[in-house]
Amino acid sequence: MVVTSQLHVVIVGGGFAGLNTAKGLGGVEGVKVTLIDRRNHHLFQPLLYQVATAGLSPAEIAAPIRGLLSKYENVRVLQGEVTGVDLAAREVTGSLGTLRYDRLVLAAGAMHSYFGSEAWEVYAPGLKTVEQATEIRRRVLEAYEAAEHEEDSDIRRALLTFVVVGGGPTGVEIAGALGEMSRFTLARDFRNIDPALARIVLIEAGERILATFAPRSSSRATRDLERLGVQVWTGSRVSAVDAEGVEVGDERIAARTVVWAAGVKASEIGGRLAGGDPVALDRQGRVRVNASLQIPGHPSVFVLGDQAHVQGPTGDALPGVAPVAMQQGRYVSRRIRAGLKAADADHPPFVYWDKGQMATIGRSRAVLEAGRIRMGGMLAWLGWLFVHIYYLSGFKNRLFVLFSWAWSYLSFARGARLIIQKTWRSYGDSPLQGVHGSTDDS
Amino acid sequence: MVVTSQLHVVIVGGGFAGLNTAKGLGGVEGVKVTLIDRRNHHLFQPLLYQVATAGLSPAEIAAPIRGLLSKYENVRVLQGEVTGVDLAAREVTGSLGTLRYDRLVLAAGAMHSYFGSEAWEVYAPGLKTVEQATEIRRRVLEAYEAAEHEEDSDIRRALLTFVVVGGGPTGVEIAGALGEMSRFTLARDFRNIDPALARIVLIEAGERILATFAPRSSSRATRDLERLGVQVWTGSRVSAVDAEGVEVGDERIAARTVVWAAGVKASEIGGRLAGGDPVALDRQGRVRVNASLQIPGHPSVFVLGDQAHVQGPTGDALPGVAPVAMQQGRYVSRRIRAGLKAADADHPPFVYWDKGQMATIGRSRAVLEAGRIRMGGMLAWLGWLFVHIYYLSGFKNRLFVLFSWAWSYLSFARGARLIIQKTWRSYGDSPLQGVHGSTDDS
């Protein structure tokens, strides 16, 4: 395609994939970018579990998308929701009306899946957004508060029981942080209860937690979790969730706080791509793309990140992790830039550079795999710390974040332990909401 | 009164007055303290306007009450709501059931008053809690976002018009911060609109803003506000507020974002003190107390802070500001301690040490009055900065807060500019709420 005027690139989603695409096209002559996101901020998702467990504040892991892109005159940011795409007409539609594109990058992410039982969501929030993280935080902290003045011992026990569903990195990290909270952070803050007696159960349907890691890492992580007081149940599938707890096969765990960190369901936009043959999706709703991240038959449309199903070297899809999304974003920006000068089709396909994976368990242990390296313990945790600070400070002053965040984190920052009520009204609504279990969303 | 066993002191409210009372009684032999608050955190209210204008995050100005008092074994904290007091039986009642007290300290604060028109609240939030601050922040940021893609110029103008009602320190500080946001913080972030063209109007019913300050300070502040693009309307009373704007006498201002920083209405607990002669309240619902901060006829009950009407040296009530509440808290703790050894009645009355007052206008100017000193400009602002850091770090590491908060503040911290949606659900509720004006609270 020969470009005579400005190429309009529309990017849907301001996460790792979308943001990196926009940055790669910022300041490029002949290209005009519109980035659309439902929210105004970019979220550093790997640390979202820290917000959910009151270790960090939302603002420490989020930044306004506008702020990150304001220096690029050719990039504009719009807050809105894209609900459909017309591939033939090359238009996206949604709350902002209709927008024509020359190139489209869909990077709208995914949410957790309840495997058909979406009604469970109100009892067991997922962890993909700041709102969900602060909701989980509220439930966890309120459970302790309620237990402090609860006289019925059965209810108290249920209040001090926390269930995490899903043994991937997210679930492991939440469970470890909850264990640490009960044994360290809150240790001296209560008079009637001993927070260290809280029971935390991590439930995984597969054979082992951290299934994408080596078996040795899974064992290590399991031991580290148990040391923090977390019970790890593998080969266990949750069959029901309600206000009182969860059912796992024949057993029932009475737990007032349940967190859902299992399953993947890609953005519904994938199912609303009209104007051509039906676009192939996988079971999680992810759009199947070719090796160059394009929708087959639509070379001007790319799908990235958690929203895409990209076949990896083993035949399985590439995982929905941050490094994949970042690299894909950069790849697409290079491809689009190259396409300005020469035919697109010559550009090499996307190759993921797998630098490894890691998961933390509490504040002093982690499991880390890179190439053939397998590490655990404190050394792995330090590696985790530096990698995350490095990537986080891609957009913040490195020195400040290192100091601020490390302090915040290492001192069991109390400031993040805020219970924010669900309603702000002084007149008209009671500001005190009942302890969760209520299905009232107002 | 002779004390033979532990004196149970119940404190209602974990703000400046309640917290300082508790701290003064922490570790004191023979005294057992129960502090009850509806929320789990203590809020540094003088900086709440910073949260509302996206300059600071909630966690930077709030701390969990438990954390602040955990070192005192004789102090316990309960999260709950007190709804009534039986002065004869010496009991408080509420969500925690019934609690007997030997001494009662009511420090439940106040909210803004709509002078009978509470229905206006949904269009014009007050600024007393974290939830209100983040709601205001959301509305302000969403107004700019909506304006960016609004094609109708009248609607766009209304979206870029912000009204602040109330010319006291709170209103002045919010208006100044909004002016600064439009001219500096957001300056380069938009492509379709120029944020600097936003119109901010501060409306005050009285003759001048900052009525408790000297006239010269009021003039200075007015000029500083105008320099930031804020229009100051004095002698103007708001007669109606709705989704589209406000009415001021004959005029109507089309504004989608209105903040209410006027009027005082003390906690309703003041009207629910049973078991004796009716307790005298003033027009704002504040409990009239004697010179020793006790309810006349009930020497074991103290009322402090914004909830109390204490006659000052001029005959007017002491203002509802932080230093008053802090000093009262310390006074009452001293009085209760002294009462353990000798008869209460000999203890001297409360005398407020007025160290002065100040208000900021943007990030580089303030007005400051202390004794005969009248200061303005940058010097006053630096004075304001250090006083607030000093008092804030009464409970946080001084070095860290100085660095962290000053950086955050001086660099127009983008991280605090988060739009947090009102609902966290992925399934069942659309995560994108309409631009404010909707009366839907869910």
- How high is the pLDDT of residue A193? 95
Nearest to B404 among A64, A404, A421 (CB): A404
**Shortest Cα–Cα distance, A118 to chain B (Å):** 7
B134 touches chain A (CB under 8 A): yes
- How high is the pLDDT of residue A415? 53
**Are the beta carbons of A41 and B148 separated by less than 8 Å?**
no
Q: What band does B41 get if pLDDT is binned at 50, 70 and 90? A: very high
* Residues contacting residue A89 through CB under 8 Å, at least 6 positions apart: A100, A275
**Are the beta carbons of B441 and A431 separated by less than 8 Å?**
no
B174/B127 Cα distance (integer angstroms): 10
Question: Which residues in chain B are contacts of A41 at CB distance < 8 A?
Answer: 417-419
Average pLDDT, chain B: 89
Take residue B318 and report the two structure tokens written for it: 């002491």
Residue A90 is classified by DSSP as: T
ipTM more than 0.85?
A: no
**B438 has a pLDDT exceeding 90:** no
Higher pLDDT, A345 or B258: B258
- How high is the pLDDT of residue A79? 95
B46 closest CA partner among B165, B148, B173: B173
In chain A, residues 373-402 whose CB comes closer than 8 Å to chain B: 396-397, 400
Q: What band does B11 get if pLDDT is binned at 50, 70 and 90? A: very high
A170 touches chain B (CB under 8 A): no
**Could you give the residue numbers annotated as active site of A?**
173
Give residue-wise pLDDT tens across range B143-163: 999 999 999 999 999 999 999
- How high is the pLDDT of residue B404? 61
Question: Which residues in chain B are contacts of A121 at CB distance < 8 A?
Answer: 425-428
Give residue-wise pLDDT tens across range B60-72: 888 889 989 999 9
* Residues contacting residue B101 through CB under 8 Å, at least 6 positions apart: B8, B9, B10, B34, B90, B91, B92, B300
Higher pLDDT, B2 or B227: B227
pLDDT, one tens digit for every residue, chain A (442 residues): 444 579 999 999 999 999 999 999 999 999 999 999 999 999 989 889 989 998 888 888 888 899 899 999 999 999 999 999 999 999 999 999 999 999 999 999 999 899 989 999 999 999 999 999 999 999 999 999 999 999 999 999 999 999 999 999 999 999 999 999 998 888 889 999 999 999 999 999 999 999 999 999 999 999 999 999 999 999 999 999 999 999 999 999 999 999 999 988 999 999 999 998 999 999 999 999 999 999 999 999 999 999 999 999 888 999 999 999 999 999 999 999 998 877 666 789 999 999 899 999 988 899 999 988 999 998 898 888 888 877 765 455 456 556 666 666 666 654 567 787 777 777 765 433 333 433 333 3
**B422 has a pLDDT exceeding 90:** no
Lowest-pLDDT choice from A124-128, B7-11, B394-398: B394-398
- Our CA dihedral for B226, B229, B233, B238, rounded to 10 degrees, sits at -150
B112 touches chain A (CB under 8 A): yes
Question: Which residues in chain B are contacts of A96 at CB distance < 8 A?
Answer: 149
A82 touches chain B (CB under 8 A): no
A237 closest CA partner among A259, A210, A264, A205: A205
How large is the greatest C-alpha to C-alpha distance in chain B, in angstroms?
75
- Pairing of β B103-106 and β B298-303: parallel
Q: What band does B439 get if pLDDT is binned at 50, 70 and 90? A: very low
Strand partners, A251: A248
Question: Which residues in chain A are contacts of B126 at CB distance < 8 A?
Answer: 426
- pTM equals 0.87
Work out the burial of residue A290: count CB atoms within 10 Å of its CB; fewer than 13 is exposed, 13-18 middle, 19 or more buried: middle
- Angle, vertex CA B298, rays to CA B292 and CA B304, nearest 5: 45
A25/A34 Cα distance (integer angstroms): 11
